[in-house]
Amino acid sequence: MYSSSLLSLESSLGRRTFLRRFGRIAALAGAGSAFYSVPGAFAEELVRTPKQTEGPFYPDHLPLDTDNDLLVINDALTPAVGEITYVSGRILSPAGEPIRNALVEIWQCDQNGAYLHSKTGNGDKRDPNFQGFGRFITGSRGEYLFRTIKPVPYPGRCPHIHYAVKMKGHEKWTTQCYIKGHPGNEKDGIWRGIKDEKQRDAVTVDFAAMPGSKAGELAATFDLVMGYTPEL
Ligand SMILES: [Fe+2]
């Protein structure tokens, strides 16, 4: 699955472009997390990522394609509308150990505020080219990567990307990722529901211009610190 995800991302970007971008993203994802791979390197545990509600819009019908490139469904020629964003990070234990073979799922509304759900708002305005949902299985460093759009607000919510992490022997775990500095955050009941400031910061990340990207693509790094230690 890992390699097929890479392949389909490759085919949509062109191999050389993809490798260059993936290299850059891997570097971004690794920045600041190099120490995490040394168990016991920190006297204190990492801040655990707060669990957040799954919400009502986990897809009730899966898209035809569930890979990690949400901009293109299968071999479609027309990509989704939105600000292209590479979202990457690692799934970690509280001690910073990578959790591999975790199934990471994301889902979010399209540029017009429509989810892949029969009860979504804005369903009549759905962008038919947005995949809306994707999956990735973490590798040996616990890393994941998605290409998607920068999330947008919809009535009642500030922009967010939903995450589910599924691992053998553990219940499905869900959270949401937010845009640092977005004015809607302070008005959002679910974001505000995280009372601990450090935990709030842990799910609120920069969506910044990707270094060297002429097309204005964005990159966001979101590490998820789970409440358990991987089995080795
Ligand atoms: Fe949502």
Q: How far is the CA of 176 from the centre of ligand 1 (A)?
A: 8
Ligand 1 centroid to 231 CA: how many Å? 32
How much distance in Å is there from the Cα of 158 to the middle of ligand 1?
A: 9
pLDDT by residue (tens digit) across 182-227? 999 999 999 999 999 999 999 999 999 998 898 999 999 999 999 8
Q: In terms of Cα–Cα distance, which of 203, 173, 206 is closest to 188?
A: 203
96 token code pair: 């910073």
Q: How does residue 229 score in pLDDT terms, banded at 50, 70 and 90?
A: confident
- Of residues 155 and 16, more confidence is placed in 155
**For all residues of the chain together, what is the average pLDDT?**
86
232 CA → ligand 1 middle, Å: 34
The contacts of residue 15 (CB under 8 Å, 6+ apart) are none
Question: Ligand 1 mean position to 207 CA, how many Å?
Answer: 18
Separation between Cα atoms, residue 158 and residue 52, nearest integer Å: 14
CA of 56 to the centre of ligand 1 (A): 8
Q: How many angstroms is it from 208 CA to the middle of ligand 1? A: 21
Residue 136 has pLDDT above 60, yes or no: yes
Confidence at residue 42, expressed as pLDDT on a 0 to 100 scale: 53
Per-residue model confidence (pLDDT) at position 16? 38
For the segment 133-138, the average pLDDT, to the nearest whole number, is 98
Q: What's the 98 CA to ligand 1 centre distance in angstroms?
A: 27
Cβ atoms < 10 Å from Cβ of 224? 23
**Ligand 1 centroid from CA 17, angstroms:** 31
Band the pLDDT of 43: cuts 50, 70, 90: low
**Ligand 1 midpoint to CA 162 (Å):** 6
34 pLDDT higher than 60: no
> Does residue 25 have a pLDDT over 80?
no
What pLDDT, on the 0 to 100 scale, is given for residue 232?
A: 56
Average pLDDT over residues 164-178: 95
pLDDT at position 125: 97
22 vs 136: CA distance, rounded Å: 14
Kindly give the distance from the C-alpha atom of residue 19 to the centroid of ligand 1, in angstroms, as a whole number: 31
Q: What is the pLDDT of residue 230?
A: 75
**82: its two tokens:** 């939105």
First to last CA, the chain: 21
- Does the global pTM surpass 0.85? no
| C-alpha torsion sign, points 190, 192, 195, 201 | positive
| CA 107 – ligand 1 centroid, Å | 8
94-102 average pLDDT score: 95
Residue 45: what pLDDT? 87
State the helix-helix crossing angle for 15-30 and 2-13, rounded to 10 degrees. Answer: 120
Q: How far apart are CA 43 and CA 60, in angstroms?
A: 43
- pLDDT greater than 80 at residue 4: no
Going from the Cα of 161 to the center of ligand 1, the distance in angstroms, rounded, reads 7
Distance 177 CA to ligand 1 centre (A): 10
